[in-house]
Amino acid sequence: MSYPLFIAGAEWLWLVVILGIVIFGAKKIPELARALGKAEGEYHKGRLEGTREINELVNSDDRLKLIKAAEILGIDYHGLSDEELRAKIREHI
């Protein structure tokens, strides 16, 4: 016989909040939230920087830079013109 837990949506959130308070204490919660916020900010900053670098490569006229961007993104560049390759890279971003 199985006894599944009958806890729906919002109850899980409250359970996690209560467990967090019990495990970390009320004073540590703001510090953890701040650290998570900083980590998320760094993630987005890195992601934007990577996108910017790829866009710079795409907008350049140098074929080697286009090929490098295609390799980074895992795009097959063989048999494609520069314009076709730029379009594929833009689609992939």
35-75 pLDDT, tens digit each:
989 999 999 999 999 888 888 777 766 788 888 888 988 99
Decide if pLDDT at 85 tops 60: yes
Structural domain boundaries in the chain:
9-92
pLDDT of residue 17: 82
Between 82 and 9, where is the model more confident? 82
- Cβ atoms of 88 and 75 within 8 Å: the answer is yes
What is residue 82's three-state secondary structure? helix
What is residue 4's three-state secondary structure? coil
Decide if pLDDT at 26 tops 70: yes
Q: At what angle do helices 82-92 and 28-59 cross, to 10 degrees?
A: 170
Query: Which tokens belong to 61?
Result: 């006229």
Query: Structure pTM?
Result: 0.46
